[in-house]
Structures are given as C-alpha cells and as structure tokens.
Structure 1
Amino acid sequence: MTQKPLMAANWKMHLSIREAVNFVARLHEAVGTPDDREVLIAPPFTHLWALREAMGAAGYSLAAQNCHWEEKGAFTGEISLPMLQEVGCTYVILGHSERRHIFGESDEWVGLKTAAAFAHGMSPILCVGEKLEEREAGRTEAVLLRQLETGLARVPSERIEKLVVAYEPVWAIGTGKTASPEQAQEAHAFIRGWLAERFQKEIAKNIRILYGGSVKPDNVDALMAQPDIDGALVGGASLDVASFGRIVRFQKMGETN
C-alpha cells in the first residue's frame, strides 16, 4: 500500500464544541502531525465549522458522519455533500452499522450516498460488517459481498482509488469484544480480493481498508500488524486524548518506544 495508514475517530453523538476544540489542541500536543499516517476526526455536524481551522492547523482531516445523496431539497434533518464540503470535510462515513441497524438505512441508500460522494470529489468511508448471528451462521462473506456490491454498484472505476472501506463486525462495536487479528485479517483479505476482481488488482492494493470494532490502545498494534489492515475506525476509545493518541501512535512491526 502506497497510501498512509488512516487512523479515524468517530465521535458519534459526544462532546461539546468547546470540548472538541480542546481535544484537537491536546491531541496535537500529544502526537503532533505524523508524517507516516493520516489522522481523521468525524465530529457531530454542529462542530464541523468550529473545528475546521483547528483541524487544518494540526494537519488532520475532517469527516462527516453521514450525508444525503441529493444536493438540496425538502429533506428535513438531512445534510448535503456541498454543505459538508463548504465546512472543510474531505471524507464522509457511510453505511455505519448504527445507521443501518438503528435508523434502518438500506444497502440501496448507502449505494446512492457512496455514488454521490464520489460525484462531489469526497472520499467515502464505506462501512460493511456482519451481525453476530450472521457470523455464527457462516454468512460473513455473503453479507460483506452484498454490502460491497450494492454500495459500489454506481461507482465508476476511474474514481475508486478515493474509496476507503471500514470493516466493522457489528458484534464487536461498543461491546468490548474485538475480532481477533486473524479474524479481522480474514475479512479484510476477502474485501481486498473482491475489490481486485471488481476493479483491478493494483487499484485494490491502494484502497485503504480500516478495522472498526472496539479498537483500543492494547490491541491496535496487533491489528495494524496484519497485512490487509490499513488503519482503524475508532469509536469509544477516540473520546479520550491519551487513548486515541496511543492508537494514532501504533507501533509497526519491529518498532520500539
């Protein structure tokens, strides 16, 4: 992979604007602006404008947690990609398991949003992953295949290199359970294999595939040592500066503090 590992914080519905701005300043004090990895934060919508300057000064990337596929319209409570671009977002998280399973977003909706993100020059972070009963039934790959095929059905090959995929086993999100490094690698390898078949092998090599699912300081090194894990999408552990800072500073194989 020629791209930098991507260490992403998904703050979900947490932190005030003041707390968020303070967090970015403290994180920058702790880890600086790493040359060999990209740091991304996805705060609540209300925080985006306030964080724009702080994020840019720190050299971090700004992401939205969701979007609508239309540019404008009578969609109460929604937000468009041009609006997100205006406040400095370069990434958008799409198809997160909480959007799918709590708010009922369909694979089709996720596909529409992903295509719209590409059309506006944004990098979508397309989330895929199975529920516990699906894994226990041996259907992990079938679920991933369905989500990938529908999510990327409208995406032209010439734009696919901007894609980021996040594998997040639903059974490991916020539960304290984590897929073993071997389980995570198996799913990541399947995803990369599908991308190589659907697009091109060389392109698939450079698409970053993140792991998301109870990533913590004590398991990030082992996860990041896997050949097909190119970063992390971090939830709860991203709300603490020391914790997320350690995740950002994950150790590569052979490194010591």
Structure 2
Amino acid sequence: MRRPLIAGNWKMFKTNPDTSVFLAEFLPKLSDVPSGRDVLLCPPFLSIARAVGLAAGTPLCVGAQNVYPKENGAFTGEVSPLMLVDAGVKYCLVGHSERRAYFGEVDTFLNEKVRALLEVGITPIVCVGETLEQREAGQAESVVAEQVRAGLTGVAITSVVVAYEPVWAIGTGKTASAADAQQMHASIRTVLAALGEAELVRILYGGSVKADNIAELMAMPDIDGALVGGASLDPSSFYAICNYVEKG
C-alpha cells in the first residue's frame, strides 16, 4: 500500500505571523487525522523556519516550493539544496506549472533540480500536467508522459513523488473528474513502470482540490494524495481535506 500524502502549497501567501496563526489552529487538529497519512505544508521561503519550529514534535512535515540546483555560488536571489536541508525541509516541489509558465523552466533544468535534491536527501515532488489547449488537441497523455520521462531521467523513481496537475484546473475552480484524473494517473504509472518500481511511487492529484471532492479522488486506485493550493491557506479547509473519510 502506498501511504497517502496530502500536501499544501501556499505559493506566495502568508508572512511569519500568518504562519504562526495558521499553525496555532491547524496543529491541534492533526491528532484527528488518521496516522497512516502524511501531511505536508510548503510555505514561502521566508516562512519555512517558522513553520519548521512550530511543527517540531508533530506529524506535520514542511517542504519548500522551489530550489536552485547548485550547492552555492553567484546566483543572486536563489536558494540551494543545502540551505533547505539546514532549514529542516523534507520535501521540495519541482516544476510546478507556475514555474514552467511564468519562469520558463524546462524539463532538463527541472531534472537538475530533482538530482540535486536527491543528493542531499530531500524528496522531490515532481509536478507534471497539460494545458487546456494540449488536452483539447488530444495531446494530454503524450505531453505528461514526456514531462515524466525527462524530469526523472537518471533518477531512482522510488525516491520521488509525482504530482499531476492539469494546468487548466489550477486556481480556476474546475476539477478533472475523478475518472479523468484516474485515467491520467494510470497513464503516468505506466510510464513510470518503464523506469522502475512504479507501484511504489506516490502520484498526487492537484487542481482545485477541496473538502467536497477529496474523498472521491482518493477512492481512485492510482491517486495517492493531493497537492492542494488555495484550500490549504485556511486551516479548517485544509484540515477537512487531510481528514477525508475513505469511501467503501
């Protein structure tokens, strides 16, 4: 059995005081979440230390939203894998659609990030997904398959998490149906099977995940968790997602 992982991506929201307020409400609720699930929050860089400190001794893991794939150097404004280790980070997002779209990050560069994170013991969460135009053109599965293969080149796949996020569903309120999401997750697992032990790899769904759709998504055989955006900013809604009731 793959252990479910519910990850919250705060994007560019919440200061240190905001983080303290959120966790003061959220952390006491964690004891109600089934122990067989992992819960992760990825705050902005400047709130990571606060989150790590407050989460110490609790089941909550803290991750980062991005990394630069060098140990150090003249890379003004960037954060290295070693800096994330020093901050207490356990996971790191790689290739979120906003990084691809707004900052021009391509698969070869993202593969460098994956490798750099694994070298220091941080688990990459490799994000893949198609645009609405690509889906309507019938290219969704081929686009995602290429992102998976390129992003995981030369990598032991059992050391990573994959997150499928249909770009057209992020922040739009639209969600792929559970059946559509399952179809893509199954396709991703088929691609992973050519690279290693695919049955051991967790694949998350991301794209307007909310408390009212998480249980249906998690009932699908190849959906192992969620990458939650806007709904992770409110402690009550994120708790409700983490504490979903399993179907059947």
Superposed, 1:59-78 pairs within 5 Å as 59-78=59-78
CA offset at residue 224 of structure 1?
Answer: 0.6
SS of 1:57 mapped into structure 2: coil
User: 1: CA distance between counterparts of 2:211 and 2:60?
Assistant: 20
Answer with 131-140 or 53-62: which moved more.
53-62
CA offset at residue 31 of structure 1?
Answer: 3.1
SS of 1:102 mapped into structure 2: helix
Answer with 11-20 or 93-102: which moved more.
11-20
CA offset at residue 26 of structure 1?
Answer: 1.1
Does the alignment pair 1:214 with 2:211?
no
Contact 1:68 1:79 in 2 (8 A): yes
CA offset at residue 250 of structure 1?
Answer: 1.0
Q: Give TM-score, length-normalised by structure 1.
A: 0.93
Does the alignment pair 1:10 with 2:9?
yes
User: 2: CA distance between counterparts of 1:182 and 1:112?
Assistant: 33
Contact 2:30 2:59 in 1 (8 A): no
Aligned position for 1:194: 191
Aligned position for 2:158: 161
CA offset at residue 48 of structure 1?
Answer: 0.9
Aligned position for 2:25: 26
Given residue 216 of structure 1, which amino acid in structure 2 is its aligned partner? K
SS of 2:163 mapped into structure 1: strand
Aligned-residue CA RMSD (Å): 1.1
Aligned position for 1:146: 146
> Where in structure 1 do 4 or more consecutive aligned residues deviate above 4 Å?
none
Does the alignment pair 1:249 with 2:243?
yes
Contact 1:49 1:87 in 2 (8 A): yes
Contact 1:112 1:154 in 2 (8 A): no
Structure 1: 5+ residue stretches without partners: none
Aligned position for 1:184: 181
**Identity in percent:** 49
User: 2: CA distance between counterparts of 1:21 and 1:206?
Assistant: 35
User: 2: CA distance between counterparts of 1:162 and 1:206?
Assistant: 9
User: 2: CA distance between counterparts of 1:21 and 1:208?
Assistant: 30
Aligned position for 2:126: 126
SS of 1:227 mapped into structure 2: coil
CA offset at residue 170 of structure 1?
Answer: 0.1
SS of 2:153 mapped into structure 1: coil
SS of 2:35 mapped into structure 1: coil
CA offset at residue 89 of structure 1?
Answer: 0.3
Given residue 26 of structure 2, which amino acid in structure 1 is its aligned partner? L
Given residue 172 of structure 1, which amino acid in structure 2 is its aligned partner? A
Superposed, 1:34-49 pairs within 5 Å as 34-49=34-49
Deviation by residue 1:17-36 (Cα, 9 ceiling, x = unmatched): 11112212211222326411
Does the alignment pair 1:115 with 2:115?
yes
Aligned position for 1:172: 169
User: 1: CA distance between counterparts of 2:29 and 2:61?
Assistant: 17
Structure 2: 5+ residue stretches without partners: none
Q: Give TM-score, length-normalised by structure 2.
A: 0.97
